[in-house]
Amino acid sequence: MSHSHRAALQFLFPSFLFVLVFTLFPIVESFRLSFYRLILTLPWLGQKFVGWENYRDLLTDPVALHSLLTTLMFVAVTTPLEVLFGLGMALVLSESFRGRGYLRAIVLVPWAIPTVVSSQMWRFIFNDRYGLFNFFLFGDDTSRYLAPLADLSLAPIAIIVAEIWKTSSFAFLIILAGLQAIPTDLYEAASMDGATVWQKFRYVTLPLLKPALLLALLFRTIDALRVFDLVFVMTQGGPADATNVLQFYGYKKSFAEGMIGYGSAISVVVFFLSLLLSLIYIRSMGSRMLQTVEAR
């Protein structure tokens, strides 16, 4: 017994070293720094312990609160739509027809594209002078052309559109795997029992697909919480902080403004937000996933 413990330790050690140095230690360090005032642009202030001050400031920082709200809005709008799109695509692509393999590969294209590239692409489509978006809305009447990325209400929508386009295919992948796990004889049995297409979907597919839908929803939620690339490329958080999501705000405070202490406090809040969600996720799905891995 002790033999396998030792062997397991040796095999796991290299990976654990990376996890320790670049994940576990930094999280503890972020925690520690969040109780200090440390501003890189004002080095003469040094590193001063200030207790909960950074957190108190955070609570009264209107930009931070707005940023939290923006992030939550972003998550609340994108994730259900992505799962819905993913479900639709998975339902069509789980049927067998000619060219299904090609179509599946095409659906994966948005997933494979670097987010930075898809961000530039949507930025181009939302261009205020010759973007496709304007052309579809107003034709060649250039006088009515909008600048969506500079518009307070349109900019968040533009980000949301770009996000949904890019990541629906991930939801599709998870849901497709769930669909394929449903045994076909259940549908045959339902047919024998006289079920219509809709009844088969409602009483067979949907209940059995619930875990996969939940999984897709939670993965997407956790991922949408840390949206950064899109915002960095398309809007830089603007206009007037309309798209200033948490991860971008934290980045700006820590790295552009050098406010390490305050930035760390933001990091800690974001960390707990996603830890909460991942715990919910692991509690509801994790043990089931581990079982499927271990059952083999």
Name which of residues 24 to 83 contact another protein (CB under 8 A).
24-27, 29-30, 33
Please state the φ and ψ torsions of residue 122, each to the nearest 5 degrees: -70, -30
Among 99, 144, 184, 185, binds another protein (CB under 8 A): 99
Cα(184)–Cα(20) distance, rounded to whole angstroms? 45
Applying CB under 8 A, which of residues 112, 143, 153, 184 lies at the interface with another protein? 112
For residue 266, state whether it binds another protein (rule: CB under 8 A). yes
Residues contacting another protein: total by CB under 8 A = 105
Whole-angstrom CA distances from 88 to 75, 82, 168, 287 are 20, 10, 10, 28
Site for another protein in 217-236 (CB under 8 A): 219, 222-223, 225-226, 228-229, 232-233
Instruction: Please pick, from the candidates 39, 93, 160, 171, the single residue that binds another protein as defined by CB under 8 A.
Output: 93
Q: Give me 198's structure tokens.
A: 């809709």
Q: Contact, 272 vs 31, CB < 8 A?
A: no
Within residues 236-255, the interface with another protein by CB under 8 A covers 246-247, 250-251, 254-255
Binding of another protein at residue 16 (CB under 8 A)? yes
> Alpha-carbon Rg of the chain, whole angstroms?
24
Q: Interaction with another protein in 119-148: which residues (CB under 8 A)?
A: 119-122, 124-125, 127, 129-130, 132, 135, 139-140, 142
- Measured from the CB atom, the residue of 61 and 229 that comes closer to another protein is 229
C-alpha dist (Å) from residue 243 to 116, 237, 285: 16, 5, 31
How long a stretch of residues is the chain?
296
Task: Confirm or reject binding of residue 156 to another protein (CB under 8 A).
Answer: no
What is the β-pairing status of strands 48-49 and 36-37?
antiparallel
